[in-house]
Structure 1
Amino acid sequence: MNTKHFFKLASVCCLAFGLLACASAPKEQVVEKDPRDSLEGFNRAMWELNYEILDPNLLRPATVGYMAVVPTPARRGVDNFLSNLREPDSFVNAALQAKPASMAVSAGRFLVNSTIGVFGLFDVATKIGLNERREDFGQTLAVWGVGEGSFLMVPARGPSTIRDTGGDLVDALYSPLGLFNTPLTITRYVLSGLTQREKAMAMEHLLEDSFDPYAFIREAYLQNRLFEIYDGNPPEQEEYDDSYLDEFF
């Protein structure tokens, strides 16, 4: 498996399978403790809640209904609109990380997509070569030297870390997201959850075939975050070894 393709896949897989996924984890197995997951007992309980209860009974049926009722072009527009709302916090975090090139890209994308792209419904920026460079406060904290803390499976949301969960709270304060009232915020989260779950439909076999779906998602999330923090070039000793996947399939 190509490493770059794996990380692109993992970023979608981890987000969408936060509510989560479609595999049957073995009920009894010996799992070696991961030092990055000091809250594993709690996290596995939240995994069970997310993927055995919330996903099959709520998120997946809602996503299937959403796909049946809303045409594909409209769903793509919703996804573009939500992505455009995140460009200002990418700009701020790029500034905090001293990344002028990423700042310019985020500012350009927001300007182009908010105008020519009709408030972000159309991703014109990508078509003219301004590809998204997502930066968030969790990455900023990592660049500043803050440790990631334990892996954390957030109820009704999915994989994260203590550092990234705190970072998400800060990112929600930036304009225009910080200007949203409660109903708009809830609507954004619902639509985001539906669009991310739709993207994961074609990837469900990854969890169906894995030996330990929870451990697979944990590793995919942590490796993907390392990839994002180092802008696709993590330290050599941290590079992802594709043979590690053998433990999960």
Structure 2
Amino acid sequence: MLIPLLACLLASGCAAVNGPRAEDGLKEDAHGERLPFPASRREAAPVPPPEGLEPGLEPTVVAYREYRDPLLHVNRAIFAFNDVTYRYLLIPLGKGYVRVVPDPVHRSVGNFFYNLKTPIYAVNHLLQLKPKPMGRNLLRFGINTTLGVLGLFDPARKWWGLEREETDFEETLSGYGAGYGLYLVLPIFGPSDLRKGASLVVDHFLNPVVYLTENPERSVIQGVDFFQEYAPEAERYETLRRKAEDPYTFFRNLYLQGVQRDADYR
């Protein structure tokens, strides 16, 4: 059911006007106050972190001259749905998971899913014309699937120094000059964009789970994968949301800041 929903969102995004909306003449900071546009899109308008924010959770929110959010009303509705789902379901479950599951077990679960998704990284490295990291990923897969007991352990890194080299179709598109398109909020997945949404669809079909299992087992496995990645970040969302008067604007600007940072350093 997720794929048709994503396809609808992507189709809507393609048909939308990419220019800024009239109401986007001013940007809000983390406290909901209006900010003038900076002189250029890459000139940051730093906002001091909210008072009392925990160390390591001090984002500098950027005001953008040309951010693209033509689906603002749809995005806000999905954000509101996600926000309720996070606060009353996923965050409590995530906190419980972190408290109950020992770190070694959590690392082994993460290792297993990373190893399982090796075809995603290998194919995208091939598309990016990077044969060396593709080869290292395949070598890691062979070592960790056998010596690492189906990927639960990571002897490839521990014994041979083969570090993880994760990538996805979003990075492939970015490498060929594709922009982020427009801002999207996806159900459950949260802040995203047209490029990342397309990446989720393509990488979904590169995941071996799609071909090795059938529903409902497939959905359960992919749900566990998503949850084990999300759980350690659950409290971070809660803390940031509590410090923002307009959570939608805050998380949108924070996400787009990351998009611009990645574009600058790739």
Identity in percent: 34
CA distance in 1, matches of 2:256, 2:133: 23
Work out whether residues 36 and 150 of structure 1, in 8 Å CA contact, stay in contact via their aligned partners in 2.
yes
Q: What is the one-letter code of the residue matched to 1:208?
A: R
Tell me the equivalent position of 1:167. 199
CA distance in 2, matches of 1:115, 1:75: 20
Tell me the equivalent position of 1:37. 69
CA distance in 2, matches of 1:164, 1:70: 31
Tell me the equivalent position of 1:4. none
What is the deviation of 1:82? Answer: 1.2
What is the deviation of 1:29? Answer: 5.8
1:83 correspondence with 2:118: no
In structure 2, list runs of 5 or more residues that go unmatched.
Answer: 1-29, 36-62
What is the deviation of 1:207? Answer: 3.8
1:196 correspondence with 2:229: yes
CA distance in 2, matches of 1:88, 1:223: 29
1:135 correspondence with 2:162: no
Tell me the equivalent position of 1:55. 86
Q: What is the one-letter code of the residue matched to 1:90?
A: Y
Size of the aligned set, in residue pairs, is: 206
Q: Give structure 1 regions of 4+ aligned residues with deviation exceeding 6 angstroms.
A: none
What is the deviation of 1:37? Answer: 2.2
CA distance in 1, matches of 2:164, 2:259: 16
Q: CA, structure 1 residues 123+213, in 2 after alignment: closer, same or farther (shift >3 Å)?
A: farther
Q: CA, structure 1 residues 227+113, in 2 after alignment: closer, same or farther (shift >3 Å)?
A: farther
User: SS at the partner of 2:185?
Assistant: strand
User: SS at the partner of 1:50?
Assistant: helix
What is the deviation of 1:60? Answer: 1.6
Q: CA, structure 1 residues 214+111, in 2 after alignment: closer, same or farther (shift >3 Å)?
A: farther
Q: What is the one-letter code of the residue matched to 2:78?
A: M
User: SS at the partner of 2:68?
Assistant: coil
User: SS at the partner of 2:149?
Assistant: coil
Tell me the equivalent position of 2:219. 186
Q: What is the one-letter code of the residue matched to 2:171?
A: Q
What is the deviation of 1:136? Answer: 1.0
Work out whether residues 98 and 232 of structure 2, in 8 Å CA contact, stay in contact via their aligned partners in 1.
no
What is the deviation of 1:210? Answer: 4.1
Q: CA, structure 1 residues 175+61, in 2 after alignment: closer, same or farther (shift >3 Å)?
A: closer
- Per-residue Cα deviation, 1:87-133 (whole angstroms, up to 9, x for no partner): 21110000001012221222122122211111111122332322222
- Per-residue Cα deviation, 1:112-169 (whole angstroms, up to 9, x for no partner): 2211111111122332322222111122122233332111110122121112112211
Which range is displaced more, 126-135 or 196-205? 196-205
CA distance in 2, matches of 1:220, 1:87: 29
Tell me the equivalent position of 2:129. 98
Q: CA, structure 1 residues 93+213, in 2 after alignment: closer, same or farther (shift >3 Å)?
A: same
